[in-house]
Amino acid sequence: MAKRAKAKPKTANSETNSPGASLEKLAKEALNVAKTARRHRNNLKGDNFYGNKFASLRSDATVQLAALSRHSVDDTSDLAELIDTCFSPDTKPSDRLDAFRELSHSLRTKWVGTREAKPPGNELFPFALIAKANRGYLSTIAKQMNGCRREGWPDACAVMMRRLIEIAIIEAFEKKGIAAKIKDANDDYLQLTALIDRALNEPKFALSRNAKAALPKLKMVGHMSAHGRYFTAQPSDIDKLEPGLRVVVEEFLRHAELI
């Protein structure tokens, strides 16, 4: 009689594969790399072993933060600030240690139950790119926009897309120090149509040809979904806008120096 094969014991711990656990490990490694670089008098900004290693750790941490945020309804902006402190080459040693301890505490308490999941896919705009901005409000809007596209809610998706474009434009104007150009007499920001008109004619941006062509189309669908009484967006409408949205939002976020 053939012997029954013994079941292999389960040794993998799902917690150790979670984005939170990976983040803590990366932050600990960054702390050690910074200490060693300081001991050997190597600049973390320089083109040397420690500087390159530190930069690589920061990139990996950004990816893990994006995974953590993508699969959670909670705001990760506080974590993003701690990560920025941990992985900035300009951070003082004492501040880096304090940030690491606070990050570790948060990951082991508030975020302990967040496990790695399969990427949701079908994103209208890459969430990993938005996460680099370290702005919780941008991440929240992008998650809702991508989620609406995934669930087949094109009107809701178009409205959130409209909000994302509006905020990206405002961020860019603020960063350039010309926010007054997009405000009315009451010091309130203009509506999207006026924002786009000002952006298209702003010489400090020098928008690409593709961005200039995409902006009016993005505005129209977003406007009709938000205000059109009889208009109902279709999934195909959103699909056609995807390339233009990628170009427009990324350009303005780069002008805002958020990515």
Check residue 39 and give its pLDDT: 92
pTM over 0.75: no
Q: Is 199 helix (H, G, I), strand (E, B) or coil?
A: helix
HSE-up of 205 (CA within 13 Å, CB side)?
30
Tell me which of 52-66, 73-87, 118-132, 178-192 is least confident: 118-132
Percent of the chain with pLDDT over 70: 87
Check residue 114 and give its pLDDT: 53
Check residue 9 and give its pLDDT: 45
HSE-up of 160 (CA within 13 Å, CB side)?
22
Alpha helices in the chain (DSSP H): 19-39, 49-70, 77-86, 93-109, 127-131, 136-151, 154-175, 192-200, 209-227, 235-255
Tell me which of 1-5, 43-47, 209-213 is least confident: 1-5
What is the distance between the alpha carbons of residues 181 and 175, in angstroms, rounded to a whole number?
13
Max Cα distance, the chain (Å): 90
Helix (H), strand (E), coil (C) string for 136-166: HHHHHHHHHHHHHHHHCCHHHHHHHHHHHHH
Could you tell me the two tokens for 82?
Answer: 């701690």
